[in-house]
Every structure is written in structure tokens, then in C-alpha cells.
Amino acid sequence: QAQEKKMIGQETPAQKEKRMAWWTHDRFGMFIHWGLYALPARHEWVKHNERLTNEQYQTYFDLFNPNQFDPKSWAKQAKAAGMKYAVLTTKHHEGFCLFDSRYTDYKATNTKAHRDLVREFVNAFRAEGIKVGFYYSLIDWHHPDFTIDGMHPQRVENGADSTYARLNKGRDMNKYRQYLRNQISELLTQYGKIDILWLDFSYPGKNGKGKDDWDAVNLLKMIRKLQPGIIVDNRLNLEEYEDGADFLTPEQVKVEELAQYRGKTWETCQTFSGSWGYYRDENSWKSTHQLLELLIGSVSKGGNLILNVGPTARGLFDYRAQSALGNIGDWMKGNSESIYGCTYAPESFEVPKNTMLTYNPTTQRLYVHLLEYNNRLQLPQYKGKIKYAQLLHDNSEVKFTTDGNNIILNLPEKQPDMEIPVVELVLN
């Protein structure tokens, strides 16, 4: 039954489960996309989208001055929102390094920041008991050896092979591969224990890049050797290997589409407003209800959610992000038991109308999330399966009656002051 796939290392499934136990339990993390793109404040792909040259982009390097950078405040906000791990962009596609790399001058220490921003992030989040992860872009639109491909800011639309060959004269991917290795090695040796490595991303095919361009097998071997406990995403293009990735990464996928990942190990990454970097004029901010649906929906399908913040160029979380995080925290304060350690419900429990279910296999509690409030909630075919019911946030009893094979919950007339109330069911 189990598909035979090649192996890079020799970890057993049981060993992998143990290595990933904290991550699977914790369910909820913070993504942080911060870089020079916070200055133009119109998408982290601005260099690509507007085909900016290195020279044009240099303005942002020269003016980068995050004089309100306070990672302790970031960490406190993440913790208050109930997030258990955080992943920071140490370098995004633009190539700018937030850390003090020996292998480039294109780094935060050479800007008005004059500091290793990655080190301060690591220290601040660790101090709050939050696990730390590094996002590192495989793509690099600044490095002189990274070849111009179909996604590069200097790409040519429908360019012939000969055109690309001419454009790439003098660029040497061997050197870039070594740079990649060197920098990842720095990140995994100079900052203590790193819990997650989030590499982004492969786009194999014509005018693309994939595993051979990164020397991905050897890169992953090095990563595992330097940090044996680390958890690595699936964007190295090593799909042909059983152990080429630790988790799948559905990006900005709708809640309804998460069902397809059931039974796999995955984390969906989501944004507040669409872009990942700070985007001043974006008007598509999700409501608290939508954000909570993403969190609950992920757990109800057996996965994690990593929710992104794009700090401003000065180093602050934008007020809209602060307020969204606060609202999530308000909900988590009363209801986090339906998130941590939870997964999808056993098949024998039908999902009641306008609800999402999560289940804690250890305590055997079933959680019914009331997306649209109705004080008489029907639990179809639940007769005989339930011992007791209560609201999760205040442990107040919810009485119920039977109607054929169904259970009817008699919830309070008026919705409790809670964005999405949760009923906790003690099972028979």
C-alpha cells in the first residue's frame, strides 16, 4: 500500500513523528515578512512586478532605517495571540539579508539599522518561549550569479534560449549554489537551535529552477546534519523522496480546499490582506471571523496555520495587524483547548450545519465551533454518543434533548460575547 519512494536519510516514521510532535501539537504560528520591500510598501514582489533594476532598488537599501524595531513587542503580540512558533524572512527573493552574513554586503548591518535583525528576533522570541524558524528564499534577484530566468525582474517575455544565454553571460550558478550553502550554514550554526527552516521555492521547468539548481539533496543533508531536530518545508523540489520534506505548504488556500490534505502533515500559510510584505494601500483585510475560520478550519482538517504579519519599514506591526492579533488573542484566551493538540473529528461524527469540528484524541473531547449562532443546534445522529456538553470559554453547562437519533443543544438565547462560541462535548 505504502508507496515506495527513495530515501535521503534513514529516519523511521516513528522517529519523524517524535521529532515533529511539538509542531503538530502547537498548530498555530506567526510568519513575518520583513525586508526592503516594506519601504515601497506595495507588495514583496515589487521588484519583479515593476521590473526594478538593482540600481532603482538601491534607494530602499539606502533609506532603510527601522528605528522602531522592537522584536520584544513582536514576540509579546505573537504570544498573546496564542502563536507558538514564529518564522522570519532572513532573506526574501529581493536578496537582502536581515542577518550579518559573511558572504554578502547586502545586509542589515550595512544599513542604518546597523544591527543583526535576525539575532534580535531569535533572542526576543525565545525569551517569550516561542519556537523560532527561518524563512530563506532560494530565489535571489540581487545576487550577480543567480541566473536570469522566467521569474527574474530582468526576464524577457518569450525570450529565446539564445537571448537568455546572452543575458546570463558571466553569471555562474555554481557560485550561487555555494552562496546558498554558505548562508544556510551560517543561519544554522550562528543562532543556536533553530526549530523550523522554511525554504521558498522551486519552479522547475523551462526558464525555472528546481532541485538541481539548489543541489537540493546535498543541501538537505547538510541542514539535517547541522540541526538534527529541525523541521523543513517542502519547497526544495524533492517530491521523489519520502524524506525530502517534513510538511506540505498550501499557500493562501481557501478553508474549503483544505480538506484534500487530511491525513498528511501540512501547514497552510495565510496573510491578513493578500500580500506578505507590508502593503500600505491594500484594502482586502480579512475580518476577525475569517481569520478564526482559517485557524479553526486548519485544525479541523488536521493541519497547522501560520499567519503572516508584514511589519512597516520602521519596524512596527501596522495598527490593523495589531488589532487583528489582539482579536485572535481574545478568542484564544477562552478557546485555545479546541486548537492545541487537536485534529479532525472521528468519521462517526457528522459536522453539524454552520459549524466546524475539532477533536482532542488525548482527552477525547469534541469541539463544535458555532460559525453562525443558533440557540437550538441540531447534532445529527449524535444520540448516545454524548455524556455532557458545556461552553468552552466559561465551562457553563449546555443542556440537551434528543430528537430521534439527533441531539438538540439548548444554547443561550443570546450569543455569548464571543466571535465564534465553542461547545465542548464530553463523549461517551
Q: Which residue, 152 or 365, has its beta carbon nearer to ligand H79?
A: 152
Strands 131-137 and 85-91, how do they pair? parallel
The minimum distance between CB 205 and ligand H79, in angstroms, equals 14
CB of 212 to ligand H79, least distance (A): 20
H-state helical runs in 161-276:
161-167, 173-189, 211-214, 216-226
Least distance between ligand H79 and beta carbon 201 (Å): 6
Instruction: Please state, in angstroms and rounded to a whole number, the distance separating the CA atoms of residues 411 and 408.
Output: 9
- SS3 state at 327: helix
In the complex, minimum distance from the CB of residue 222 to ligand H79, in angstroms, rounded to a whole number: 23
> Which among 154, 267, 257 is positioned nearest to 200, based on CA atoms?
267
First and final C-alpha spacing in the chain: 34
Residue type, 117: L
User: Nearer Cβ to ligand H79, position 253 or 418?
Assistant: 253
The nearer residue to ligand H79, 32 or 295, going by C-beta atoms, is 32
Pick 139 or 425: Cβ nearer ligand H79: 139
Give least dist CB 233 to ligand H79, A: 9
Which position has the grid cell 547586502?
A: 106
Closest separation between CB of residue 372 and ligand H79, Å? Answer: 31
- Of 396, 425, 388, nearest in space to 412 by CA: 396
Closest CB to ligand H79 among residues 90, 338: 90
- Asked if 41 contacts 278 with a C-beta cutoff of 8 angstroms, the reply is yes
Q: Which of 89, 343 has the CB closer to ligand H79?
A: 89
Residues 6+ apart with CB under 8 A from 260: none
Cβ proximity to ligand H79: between 239 and 403 the closer is 239
Query: How far apart are CB 276 and ligand H79 at their closest, in Å?
Result: 4
Closest CB to ligand H79 among 272 and 276?
276
Cell of 288: 476577525
* DSSP summary character for residue 91: E
Cβ 93 to ligand H79 shortest distance, Å: 7
In this structure, what DSSP letter does residue 69 have?
Answer: -
The CA-based diameter of the chain, rounded to the nearest angstrom, is 77
Question: Nearest distance from residue 44's CB to ligand H79, in Å?
Answer: 5
Residue 194 CB contacts under 8 Å (≥ 6 apart), including other chains: 132, 133, 134, 187, 188, 227, 230
In the bound state, the residue with its beta carbon closest to ligand H79 is 45
Are 316 and 45 a contacting pair, CB within 8 Å?
no
Binding site for ligand H79 (CB under 6 A): 33, 44-45, 49, 200-201, 251, 269, 276
CA dihedral of residues 344, 350, 355, 360 (deg, nearest 10): -30
Beta strands in 99-254 (DSSP E): 131-137, 196-200, 231-232
Min dist CB 49 to ligand H79, Å, is: 6
404: left (phi over 0), alpha (psi -120 to 50) or beta: left
Closest to ligand H79 by CB, 138 or 422: 138
What are φ and ψ of residue 133, in 5° steps?
-135, 155
Of residues 252 and 405, the one with the C-beta less far from ligand H79: 252
Are 409 and 423 spatial neighbours (Cβ–Cβ below 8 Å)?
Answer: yes
